A and B are shown apart, each in its own frame.
Chain A
Amino acid sequence: MDLKDLYRDVIVDHNRHPRNFREIPDADRRADGFNPLCGDKLTVFVKLDGGRISDVAFNGSGCAISIASASLLTESVKGRTIAEAEGLFSQMHQLLTRDDVEVDVSSLGKLGALSGVREFPARVKCASLCWHTLDAALHQQQQVSTE
């Protein structure tokens, strides 16, 4: 288990230069996510066009894994339907938490860079925080905590 499996180049890049790191003032949906263990705080904003995510962004503070994961999330769900985004959430959940399930990483694109997180159990919640927060936003809950 090498540290480079966790901090892959894609992760480091998205942490240094997070994409869609902004507020959407007229967002249709938003939710706050909080990881009390490490103090990570994210807000996810979603703009909907029918059943499709026309824009998605986030802001907040957190570790490299949580920031990179949120950045990758915004890139991967933009333009998708809500149902597709939920499908990705469930695939990501499996990727991060289940070592008994084969996840087709090639179908996940850049999100596959997070597959190393599974080897670092203490960091799984960092990577999944943004996904739980997106899920809460799509289900119109206001707050989510990974505890």
Chain B
Amino acid sequence: MNAVHAVAGSSAALDVATIRRDFPVLERTVRGLPLSYLDNAASSQRPRAVIDAMSRYYETSHANVHRGVHTLSQEATDLFEGAREKVRRFINAKSTQEIIFVRGTTEAINLVAQSYGRPTLGPGDEILISWLEHHANIVPWQMLCQQTGATLQVAPITRSGEVDFDAFAALLSPRTKLVALAHVSNALGTIIPVSRFIAAARTRGVPVLLDGAQAVPHMTVDVQALNCDFYAFSGHKMCGPTGIGVLYGRESLLSAMPPWQGGGDMILAVSFEKTVYNGLPYKFEAGTPDIAGAIGLGAAIDYLEALGMERIAAAEHALLDYANERLATVPGLRFVGTAPDKAAVVSFTLDRVHPHDLGTILDHEGVAIRTGHHCAMPVMEFFGLPATARASFAFYNTPAEIERLVAALLTAREMLG
């Protein structure tokens, strides 16, 4: 499998130079310059191990899963279900029955809204989210409210970009039927101290969904320790493929939920009079799944585990500290989101230079960042900004890339400031 790129011992820092050679795309140039890829919160890059696992599957073992008795179908099923077990272990779920493969975080949240929320919510009921949420953790709930007559409640945030716990607790009421929170803010990088929020909700018997899209790639996630009811994340932000993601759900809740989509694989028996649904997790996986995507995700988990999630977190934290220190030297730069506990995401504005112009100018220097509202328009509105620039780091980034970011910002300032 993957070599562990450590200098020595399990507590040693990651050997970034070696790690970078695992990622073919990091060797390319943009406009004749080496690529500095600092847009990892939008989507990370893939190591060769992931690409190879998917190619190998297509070249040697592809067939449909859970169907045939022939060798290839059995191999494909073993690889697919093997990936499910890797996911289970990675987030420490009790059972693979609690691991539903979906297209991504967005689909996972929509599944919960439609399959858990729609049959159980009605007028007068409330769904509680926070002001920090990505649109994927807002819009499915708004749609659910329109369908059921329930109301969306939003816990406010502070100027530093943290969810106001007291205000959140005050919004919890007998009407609250579901809490849905980001684990890590995509726009600002804030790590929400979710245990506190989960405890407050669950003591009132309110189930909690966590949007873990930005958390799973960067820290150890243990769904049993978190004691959440649903946890959603995407493969492509954790070095896996696009088109695959995971919904973890507590088995007792998933068992009681009706299927979301109907079709093949989610049934045991079909007649025109009656259909008997399959058990978990297949009840929620209608149709041929993204087999290669799941296998790629499994390979990504192998890769991340070989590096060690704690060492990944430490490496990214060091990059965040370095970026904060260096960006603070750029005249006119203002940080947006200054929570003490953050993932390696820096959102900022630069005086007199619009983020959209920054994006173009930085691209010309080979530096890829995200500019815009980051699918979190309420966050932008809270800070009175149309947009921010966002640099987000992964363990394969280097201080030298941060230096290039700083130099490119100075160029932008000179050009337009």
A binding-site residues for B, Cβ under 8 Å: 1, 3, 6-7, 12, 15-16, 37-41, 61-65, 120, 122-123, 126
- The residue on A at minimum CB distance from B415 is A7
Q: Hey, what's the 0/1 contact readout for B361-395 against A, CB within 8 Å counting as 1?
A: 10010000001110000001000001100000000
- Report the minimal beta-carbon distance from B168 to chain A, rounded to whole angstroms: 28
A12–B386 contact, CB under 8 A? no
B binding-site residues for A, Cβ under 8 Å: 31, 352-357, 360-361, 364, 371-373, 380, 386-387, 415-416
Cα separation A120 to B364 with both chains bound (whole Å)? 11
- Report the minimal beta-carbon distance from B411 to chain A, rounded to whole angstroms: 9
A126–B415 contact, CB under 8 A? no
Cα separation A37 to B372 with both chains bound (whole Å)? 7
A7–B416 contact, CB under 8 A? yes
- Report the minimal beta-carbon distance from A123 to chain B, rounded to whole angstroms: 6
List 18 A–B pairs whose Cβ atoms lie within 8 Å, in order of A's numbering. A3-B360, A3-B364, A3-B415, A16-B416, A37-B372, A38-B371, A38-B372, A38-B386, A39-B373, A39-B386, A40-B386, A63-B356, A64-B357, A65-B356, A65-B357, A120-B360, A123-B360, A126-B356
B354–A62 contact, CB under 8 A? yes
Cα separation A14 to B354 with both chains bound (whole Å)? 14
Please list the 8 inter-chain residue pairs (A to B) with the smallest Cβ-Cβ separation, ordered nearest first: A39-B386, A63-B356, A63-B354, A38-B356, A39-B387, A64-B357, A3-B364, A63-B357
If A7-B415, A122-B360 are given as contacts, then 13 extra A-B residue pairs at C-beta distance below 8 Å, sorted by A number, are A3-B360, A3-B364, A6-B360, A12-B415, A16-B352, A16-B416, A38-B354, A39-B373, A39-B380, A39-B387, A61-B386, A62-B354, A64-B416
Cβ contacts under 8 Å, A120 to chain B: 360
- Report the minimal beta-carbon distance from B43 to chain A, rounded to whole angstroms: 17
Cβ contacts under 8 Å, B361 to chain A: 3, 7
- The residue on B at minimum CB distance from A122 is B360
Cβ contacts under 8 Å, A39 to chain B: 372-373, 380, 386-387
Cβ contacts under 8 Å, A62 to chain B: 354, 356, 386
Q: A12-B416, A15-B416, A64-B416 are in contact. Are A41 and B386 (CB under 8 A)?
A: yes
Cβ contacts under 8 Å, B372 to chain A: 37-39
